[in-house]
Each structure stands twice: as C-alpha cells, then as structure tokens.
Amino acid sequence: MSHGEPSSVTLQDGPSDKRQATPGTPEEQKVTWLELFFDLTFVVAFDQLAKRLGDAPSGINLVNFLVMFGAVWWAWAGNTTFAARHGNQERVYRWGTLAQLLTVALMALSERGELAENGPVFAAAFAANRLILVAMHGLMIRKDPDMAAFARPLMTGYGLAALIWLGSAFLGGTVQLLAWGVALAVDLVTPLLIKDRHGHALPHQEHLPERVGLLQIIALGNIVTELVAGGRQRPLTLADLAPSFFALLAAVGLWRLYFDQARALPVLEAHRRGRVGSFLLWLYSHIPFTLGLVMLAVGMGHGISDTENARDAVNLQLVVWSLFSLLFSLVLLRFTALRLSHRRVGPDRSLLALLGGLLVTAGLSLTGLGTLPLHAAVAALTLGLAAITATDPTTEHLGDLEERLGAGGSPL
C-alpha cells in the first residue's frame, strides 16, 4: 500500500513497456508527462473555486460552488478513467487530452465573477469537454468493437448531459443553475445505470488509484496555497503563525489518513470477482473527499486572514463541515475495503475511530471556537485518527492483501 506517494509513477514519453512480469499480470501503465500536465490544470481550477467560495460564502454562492466543483471533478474523472480503461499511449487519448486541457483552462477562467457574465462560458467549456470525451469513446469503438457494449450507453448519457450544458449557456439565473444540476445528475448517474457493463472495460488496477491519489495531493496543496495567501495579512510572530502551523498539521494528518487506506483493493476486486459496485462506491467516495479538501482550504485560509475575527462563525462552519465531508469519505473507503477483505475479527478499530471523529466534528459546529483553538482542535483530531489508523493491524493486513493481489506499494 502506498503511504503518501504514488506507488509506481514513472514518467515517460514513449510507448509503455509491453512485457509482463508473470502470466496473468496486467501490462504496466505508467503515468505520462501529459497526464501530469493535465492534472496540474486542476491546481488552477481548484484555486479559482476556493477563491469564489471565499469571496462570498453565502447560501446561493455555496450552491453555485458545489455544482461548479462537481463539473470540474467530473471533467477530471472522465479523462482519468478513459486513460485507465483504454491506455494512455493511444493517439486518441493524447490528442483528446490536449483538447480537454484547453476546456478545463477555460472553465477555470470562468469560475469567478457573476454567473450572469461567466456562467455561459463555463457551461459551454464543460459541454465541449464532455463532447470531446464522447468522441474519444467513439473512436475507441472503431478500434475495438468489443468496447461498444460499455461505451455506447456511456456516450449516450454523456452526450445528453453535454447538450443540456450547452443549452444552459443560453439561459440565466435560477433556470440556468437548475439546468446545470440536471445535467450534472445525468453525468453522475450514467455510469451507475450501466454497472453491469463495466466488465467490458475495467480500469487498470494500479494506474487509476495512482491518478486518484495524485488529485488528492493537488487538493492538499491547495490548503498550503490558501494558508500562505491568508498569512500575508499577518505579522510573522509566534502567535500569528500558530493557526497556520496547526492547519499544516491537519493537512499532514489528512494526507496520512487517506494514503493509509486500501486504495487499490476495490479496483483489484472488480477485476478478480466482478465487484463493480464496490469499485464505483470507491470512486464516487472521492468526490466528497476532494470537495472537503478544497472547502477546508477556504475555511482555514480565511480564518487566518481575518485579522478582526469578523467572520469566525462562517469560517467555523466551513472548516467543521469540510472536515465532516472528509471523514465521511474515509468511512466509506474503509468500509468498502473491509467488505472486500472478508475479514471478520471483531469491529475495526480505525472505522470506529473515524465514526467517532464524525461525532466530534459535528459537535465542534455547536461551539464558538475562534481560529486558533479551532485549528488546534482539527489538527489534534486528524493526527489522532491518523495515528490510530497507522497502528491498526487491520491497516497492515489490507496493505498486504493489496500487494498479494497485484498492487504495487512502497511503505512510508
């Protein structure tokens, strides 16, 4: 199991090595420079989303933020799962990724400001992103007709959602936002409706977990970005640096908590036993995790920059419910791994600790903590949970199980 680093990210530009270590072992699929370039555009996308939420953390802006985040995350997921299913050395993938990269950059440019002005640009850019993905799947069907059983219904759902996104560019106000919600729902539900067909194009068992982990690293980095931006308003005294220090400790705790999970096991079991439902639960569980990291960055960064403590109540809720989203995702990831491991030796210590963490987090929302004690509490909670998970024998068992089933790993 990898702890905090991709297990086998080796950058390359040429064709991948087609040799197999042992019979039945899948061909190695290394992360390419193009994939990292594509992923790095989401640094800007997340940063702009964070700034949008931080500019006006009102109810309607939160709804706008959530829908736009969903579109950004799904743009990343579409490209990443395509590469994991069909390979990242195909010409279709390379040219399609370059085109999608441009659409993501345009989405990032239009994430801030009034939706009346930037909303049509965002919608059109995401529609273009989805239509490019549909075309990529169509070209893969021409090369490998066996993919049609999976790709055609996927293309239908994604194509329908893209048309709704494109049509919403000509709308405005509440109607536009409702159209976005419908389109995003169609996008998210489509893979679930064709669950029985995923066996025709299962993703690579190591490549996809690595790419998913890299996205979480990017989102964790956004916490550092927001802390630095917020700290510019403060003098470099020990008292003023303390909230940033505790926030960094919280980020370290979350990093360790995430990368101590059995991240490749659901993909491995989808290949071995056809457990596609568990694989989809694992993949979708990352939506609230990445969301929580982005929102946590906003809450902590603005808590540090708020020199007059005028928005302590708002920042408190942002931090607390972002952390709740993160811990809830970790509960789902842990629960999924335990189900797949078939381990029945009493209750899982780490899962119980994470559930307890959810209760503590919800309780923090009822307090009136200021920035310093809040960040200290979050750091203590995340580091404590990380220590429990890291020292749990079940965590080691899950890691050993992953390695026996074929996942690479390098211990911390």
Biggest CA–CA distance in the chain, Å, is 65
For residue 286, is pLDDT > 90? yes
Residues 406/25, Cβ–Cβ less than 8 Å: yes
Compute the Cα dihedral for 219, 220, 224, 230 and give only its sign: positive
For residue 72, is pLDDT > 90? yes
Give the list of residues 6+ apart from residue 270 with CB closer than 8 angstroms, or none. Answer: 198, 202, 276, 278, 279
pLDDT tens string 123-137: 999 999 999 999 999
For residue 22, is pLDDT > 60? no
Please tell me the pTM assigned to this model.
0.87
pLDDT tens string 313-353: 788 888 999 999 999 999 999 999 888 887 665 688 999 99
pLDDT tens string 362-402: 999 898 888 889 999 999 999 999 999 999 988 888 888 88
For residue 24, is pLDDT > 50? no
Closest listed residue to residue 319, CA positions, set 307, 306, 332: 306
For residue 49, is pLDDT > 70? yes
What average pLDDT score do residues 92-117 get?
89
pLDDT tens string 394-411: 888 888 888 887 665 433
- CA–CA dist 85, 87 (Å, integer): 6
Residues 198/147, Cβ–Cβ less than 8 Å: no
Long-range contacts of 89-95 (CB under 8 A, 24+ apart): 89/15, 89/16, 89/32, 90/140, 90/143, 92/136, 92/139, 92/140, 92/143, 93/136, 94/34
